[in-house]
Each structure stands twice: as structure tokens, then as C-alpha cells.
Amino acid sequence: MAFDSVIINNRFEAEFEGIEPFAIQTVSGLSIEYAKIQFPVGGSNKPLKNQKGRKTVGDITLGVLSFKGDTSVASFVEWLNSEDKKDGYIKMYDNENNVARRWEIIGGTIGGFSEGDLDTSSEGEAIIPEVTMWVDDANIL
């Protein structure tokens, strides 16, 4: 299956430094949360004021579907086996193949890898490896 048709059919793509874009079937865990800090204003009987505290970003799990050539696979495996942090993007496409949503990933490193279930009885189904990324920061663009 051609790489471009994989993107069109699955609507997710990831780009990270030094790795050609790769298609993703599933994305989960894209979350940003701020701690809530409360403090009184004007006395004990007054309502508490809320303020944003420390930002935390959840671990991201990617169901990787297809790479764009052997170079990408080799670069990805090298990243998997290292402690390197990479910046990049996860993109979601609409039906007209325009970027509908984009997440900026800052300081992403591979924290886990799973091949999933291996089953030789499937009718041409691809094995979709899952990759867990630890992320220093993320932004919704």
C-alpha cells in the first residue's frame, strides 16, 4: 500500500526530528492538565480564587501503521533504542486531506514498545505496533 494512501485512509501522521513522516492508525493519551491552585481573597468568608499551577502532559500511545521507506524504520528503531528526546508533530487530516488538528510534541522519547498480538491466521491484517511516548511538553496548535 502506498504511503500517501495510508495517510488518506487513516488520517493521522507523525513527524519527528530526523525521521520521515509516518502514518498512525490510533492516538491516545494526548492530554494537557494544569494543577489548580486556590487561595482566599479578602478574608476567610470570601470565595477562593483559582489560578493555574504546574502543567502536566500525559503519556501518548501511537498505533504505528506505516513508515515511508527503510530509512524511516531504521531511524525510528535507533530512536527507540536510545534516550534521545525529539520534537515533532502529530497531525490529523480531514476528508479533503487538509490538516484539521495539530499537536506540537516537545521532548518526546520512546518509553515503551509493544508488537501486540501476533496471529498468522489473519487475512492480510497488518500488525500494528504500539509505541508509548513520554513527553516533556505539548501544545495544541
pLDDT at 22: 84
pLDDT by residue for the chain (141 residues), tens only, comes to 344 444 445 578 899 998 888 888 889 998 999 999 988 887 777 778 899 999 999 999 988 777 666 666 778 888 888 999 999 999 998 888 888 889 999 999 999 888 766 656 655 555 668 889 999 999 988
Residue 75's SS3 state is helix
Complete domains list, the chain, with CATH: 3-33+54-140 (2.30.110)
Q: For residue 130, which of 28, 31, 5 has the smallest C-alpha distance? A: 28
pLDDT at 122: 55
